[in-house]
Structure 1
């Protein structure tokens, strides 16, 4: 059994490591675009009837007007296509940008639905710059201008991880997935990381790396697309969307959220660079310790270390305050950080479920079987 002093030092190091891992999480810089770039906005949409009208309205209010907006209806079983047509008919952007709805062709073997939808949209588009935007994103009026200006600054592939806006209590449970996913990668200019909800590239660079056809069967296509750009000698930059781009993940309920995180967990974990992975695992071990030891001290459960209430309460409060501070720029996570053992249990449960689905080889997502290997 480690001595109390060694244990305290170990926990302090892990807690400090959490601050270090969050030092470099820059928001999308507020650059101003040069000239009048020809921008095509491509939106893959499968069962997005609730979110698509809001996105189209937000695009209508952009300070930089795109050349065109193409919505690719990915065989939706709801009213996505009809609502998209209705929203287009009533939106000012329909006159300014030539919005169209493209019905996706049948899914070819070896493709994932999102990569197939985006490849079709890119083939149909005419702009010099391609912006890939998820249907549930919520861009501020200056977002498109900022995104394009950052591409003019850095080139290659530039992406943004949206600020996670939560409404229902169950959505707060996702706090660790948001945090760990960003702790585990470097962020900023030319870091080799990409986020799928919002990306921009030039048409020439997109063609140079083979487009989405080069990552056709990848569930987390953004990670592998970043690899393709790097392999071609092109820079890949990634930023936070705090103040410029938001989204509400999985408004359909807790089960949708579990399956959504589950389908990405194993593949994404395999792509994390090992120095960051080690750091994140060390920080998580301290968080898990804190989540167990205060309840154990109060309820007299078995535990390693000092069973006294005061030191365990100090560790618990330290981690709770840390979570409150570092998640403020990632999403609207508040009270859940004060009871962080709850999202810890949720995180571990989804992790175990992901392992089971990895063994099964697939998972059902929006009516399709998605491979987990």
Structure 2
């Protein structure tokens, strides 16, 4: 009886999480907040060894009058990031010209901000790229008050990239989008790959410089903004804003997610933690109980957990296809992909607990 009640609670919490994702991506067509058209926007791209990604981004940025400038902030790259950026007309700033002993994404973003001219600042990761009508969509939905963040559609090309499914799902849930009371409001940080903010609001809280020591700058800066009364909104990507993460291989994908996962988990609300824990718990409990039923030849157990398996897989797929190019087979084999997520998470906990350094983009990063 107790197990049945626990299972019911886990299912209810899990489906609250799934419904938040579905609500955000499938039902938020009328963006209910006051909008405005800015006078000018400065695009700021922090970049370290991004020669394999940044060209696609720069090619996809349209030449429209409202875009004041494209600033690529080179964080001591050792590849052709600088020359590729200049080739596409971007202005290149070097972090070392402003901070000799410091580097990292936060410092690069701040260097871009203090050297920008636009009324609005748009921070974009180098692995993002835009479809043709993306900027029309963005410019039509800039909030009159507050900041705008978008989680790009995760474009995958190789099979190993499917292992990012749960990491993406948890990231979306952790930032608390899709709540029925405020579906477009972001309750916990913002999405680092795409963040648009009014210049005065950015500097009001000290910008990225105020969170330079944090590896989860998107969460920490987002919280500072909310505490200062600056709302953060998010809108669906509509497959117009995309990114491809970790094309270098499975090791890069693993370490890319592991470097900040545990830190992000400790900065998530209790209710969100309960939702995320429920989704992950069911990904283990359902296949385990199904396997037990098969081993014990228990027809009732096999029927029940087969049904629950298909319900979970289907709900996961409905969410997954809106997040990125994740296939139904991936969702059907969810125990494999959730196990990979657990491996990343526990590695992240060990890295954080023992304050280990990891090699990221040719630089040793200490996870605090």
Structure-2-length-normalised TM-score:
0.87
For residues 62-111 of structure 1, the C-alpha deviation after alignment (integer angstroms, 9 at most, x for no partner) is: 6665111011111112211122223x2xxxxx4xxxx3111221685995
When residues 239 and 306 of structure 1 are mapped into structure 2, their CA distance, relative to the original with a 3 A threshold, is: farther
Shift in Å, 1:161: 0.8
Instruction: Mark the runs of 5 or more structure 1 residues left unpaired by the alignment.
Output: 89-93
When residues 288 and 40 of structure 1 are mapped into structure 2, their CA distance, relative to the original with a 3 A threshold, is: same
Once residues 254 and 156 of structure 1 are traced to their aligned partners in structure 2, the CA distance between those partners, rounded to angstroms, is: 37
SS at match of 1:16: helix
Match for residue 346 of structure 1? 340
Match of 2:206 among 210, 217, 220: 210
Shift in Å, 1:34: 5.3
For residues 258-279 of structure 1, the C-alpha deviation after alignment (integer angstroms, 9 at most, x for no partner) is: 1010011011111111111112
Residue 71 of structure 2 is aligned to residue 81 of structure 1: no
When residues 292 and 36 of structure 1 are mapped into structure 2, their CA distance, relative to the original with a 3 A threshold, is: same
When residues 20 and 209 of structure 1 are mapped into structure 2, their CA distance, relative to the original with a 3 A threshold, is: same
Shift in Å, 1:115: 0.8
Residue 143 of structure 2 is aligned to residue 139 of structure 1: no
When residues 229 and 240 of structure 1 are mapped into structure 2, their CA distance, relative to the original with a 3 A threshold, is: same
The equivalences for 1:1-373 within 5 A come to 2=2, 6=5, 9-10=8-9, 12-14=11-13, 16-26=15-25, 37-60=39-62, 65-86=66-87, 88=88, 94=89, 99-105=90-96, 108=99, 113-151=104-142, 153-187=143-177, 188-192=183-187, 193-299=189-295, 308-334=301-327, 335-361=329-355, 362-373=357-368
Shift in Å, 1:28: 8.5
Q: Which runs of 4+ in 1 moved over 6 A?
A: 27-33
Match for residue 180 of structure 2? none
Once residues 142 and 64 of structure 1 are traced to their aligned partners in structure 2, the CA distance between those partners, rounded to angstroms, is: 15
> More displaced, 123-132 or 6-15?
6-15
Structure-1-length-normalised TM-score:
0.86
When residues 246 and 109 of structure 1 are mapped into structure 2, their CA distance, relative to the original with a 3 A threshold, is: same
Match for residue 91 of structure 1? none
For residues 260-313 of structure 1, the C-alpha deviation after alignment (integer angstroms, 9 at most, x for no partner) is: 100110111111111111122123222221132334444569xxx988422222
Once residues 33 and 57 of structure 1 are traced to their aligned partners in structure 2, the CA distance between those partners, rounded to angstroms, is: 28
Instruction: Judge conservation of contact 2:287–2:305 (CA < 8 Å) in 1.
Output: no
